[in-house]
Amino acid sequence: MKIFKTLGKAVALAALNVATAAHAGLVNDVPSCYGAFHLAAAPQQPARVVYVLIDQTVLLDQSLQQSVLDNVDRMIQPGAKFVIAEFSAFSQAHYLKVLHTGYVEQPLPDDAYNTLPITKAPQIKACFGQQLAFARKMAASTTRQAMAESTSTLNASEIMAALGELGPAVRNDAASDKVLFVVTDGLENSRASSFYAHGGVRDINPSTELAKARTNGMFADLGGAKVYVLGGAMMPPATSGTQAQRDGYRDSKTVHDLRDFWQGYFESSHAHLVEFGAPSLVTPVSY
- Total number of domains constituting the chain: 1
Question: For residue range 266-284, what is the model confidence (pLDDT) as tens digits?
Answer: 999 999 999 999 999 999 9
Q: What range does the domain containing 153 cover?
A: 2-276
Pairwise CA distance, residues 287 & 284, whole Å: 10
110 HSE (CA, 13 A, CB side): 0
Pairwise CA distance, residues 84 & 33, whole Å: 22
Report if residue 206 sits inside a domain.
Answer: yes
Report if residue 48 sits inside a domain.
Answer: yes
Contact 102, 139 (CB under 8 A): yes
Report if residue 286 sits inside a domain.
Answer: no
Report if residue 212 sits inside a domain.
Answer: yes
Question: For residue range 38-95, what is the model confidence (pLDDT) as tens digits?
Answer: 998 766 889 999 999 999 989 999 999 999 999 999 999 999 999 999 998 655 555 7
**CA 56: distance to chain centroid?**
12
Cα–Cα distances (Å) from 119 to 29, 65, 123, 160, in that order, read: 28, 43, 8, 53
- Out of 34-48, 88-102, 181-195, pick the least confident: 88-102
Report if residue 36 sits inside a domain.
Answer: yes
Report if residue 284 sits inside a domain.
Answer: no
Element (H, E) at 181: strand 177-183
Report if residue 72 sits inside a domain.
Answer: yes
Report if residue 283 sits inside a domain.
Answer: no
When pLDDT is averaged across residues 4-23 and rounded to a whole number, the result is 42
